[in-house]
Amino acid sequence: MFKEIYKKIEEYDTIVIARHIGVDPDALASQLALRDSIKLTFPNKKVSAIGTGSAKFYSIGKLDKLEKVNNALLIVLDTPDKKRVDSVDFSQFAYMIKIDHHPFVEEFCDLEYIEDTASSTAEIIMNLIMNTDLECDKNVAETLYLGLASDSNRFLFDSCTSKTFGLISIFLEKYNFELSEVYKKLYLRPMNEVRLEGYIALNMNVTENGLGYIQITNEVLNQLEVDSASAGNMINNFNFIKEVLVWATITEDVKNDQIRVSIRSRGPEINEVAEKFNGGGHKFASGAKLKSFDDAMQLMKELDECLIEYNKTLSEEN
């Protein structure tokens, strides 16, 4: 299918690359790298990467302005469902392609490449470049490595396979980018966020079934001078706690009048529970946006029940 995707890229003079709302490093890196790779290959094409940015990720690269387009190709990255595509008027496009590594939710593009076992969308873009005539340079390679390293939480997950490391090895050797530069862009953070991490560690509730959760009110966010996305962004730092198999941050987002929930698991699959609450995601990394802390506690109850089932099955097996 990579060849088909390449053919479509070749065919259209105007290409817009979009991704999901709530920008994260993999989605952003993938769209910027694909844009720059297409521009290197076809300097005369008009290619833009769009969506709402975040000051937190400015060092990864700059997005483009949303403009009206005609007879254009849309490439949606890292997004399984239409409602979560950021800032796109679908009616403007002549052809649409989806490239994603989330479990399938719905078909909304003419051509869809889904590899839900891939570590990241960045890994798929690496593969796309390797298997077509798309050009790459040091900057594109570094950006893709950044997306992959971020979404796999620095290669902690089983989705990192020999294929993943093989690709990284080829890109590192060919383009010779510096790993320390990538990690500075990804992980350098202000003291306030470290203090928030401390607050979460100190105040996390842990149930006897292995659910860890924390409610973070707007008041706490203000006291610590951090924004409502900060807790969700650091959820991966709470992996590998012996007593905790599923963990969640529940953050008040006054600006958007919602409660943001980020969930991770080292045990049971959690995406179906998140879907019941109008959220979704990967089997072991999901999220939801809710109306109230009460709804969030209902979600926690269901996650805890899920853990009871999971623990029961485990003890029956042993």
Q: Which residues bind ligand AMP (CB under 6 A)?
A: 20, 22, 24, 84, 102, 232, 235, 262, 279-282, 285-289
- Nearest distance, CB of residue 246 and ligand AMP, angstroms: 13
For residue 162, give Cα distances in angstroms to 98, 107, 114, 168: 25, 30, 19, 10
Complex with ligand AMP: residue 41 or 228, whichever CB lies closer: 228
Q: Which is nearer to ligand AMP, 174 or 187 (CB)?
A: 187
**Which is nearer to ligand AMP, 14 or 228 (by Cβ)?**
228
Q: How far is the CB of 103 from ligand AMP (least distance, A)?
A: 10
User: CA separation (Å) from 130 to 57, 224, 248?
Assistant: 26, 45, 37
Q: Which is nearer to ligand AMP, 168 or 235 (CB)?
A: 235
* Three-state SS letters, 285-318: EEEEEECCHHHHHHHHHHHHHHHHHHHHHHHHHC
Give me the least distance between CB of 4 and ligand AMP, in Å please.
25
- Smallest gap from Cβ 136 to ligand AMP, in A, equals 25
Closest distance to ligand AMP from the beta carbon of 279 (Å): 4
Rounded to a whole number of angstroms, the minimum distance from the CB of residue 285 to ligand AMP is: 5
* Exposed e or buried b per residue across 130-163, where buried means at least 16 C-beta atoms within 10 angstroms of its C-beta: eebebebeebbbbbbbbbbbbbbbeeebebbeee
Cα–Cα separations (whole angstroms), residue 218 to 56, 215, 231, 253, 263: 19, 10, 12, 7, 19
CB of 97 to ligand AMP, least distance (A): 18
Q: What is the largest CA-CA distance in the chain?
A: 62
What ranges make up the beta strands (E) of 39-170? 46-49, 72-77, 93-100, 111-114
Distances from the Cα of 96 to the Cαs of 27, 105, 111, in angstroms? 17, 16, 7
266: closest CA among 233, 318, 316, 303?
A: 303
Nearer of residues 22 and 53 to ligand AMP, judged by Cβ: 22
Within 13 Å, how many C-alpha atoms sit on residue 121's CB side?
29
- The residue (of 61 and 287) whose beta carbon lies closer to ligand AMP is 287
What token pair was written down for 61? 């690269």
Q: Least CB distance from residue 54 to ligand AMP, whole Å?
A: 12
Q: Which is nearer to ligand AMP, 72 or 248 (CB)?
A: 248
Closer residue to ligand AMP (CB): 8 or 84: 84
Please, what is the Cα angle at 145 between 120 and 248, to 5 degrees?
Answer: 45
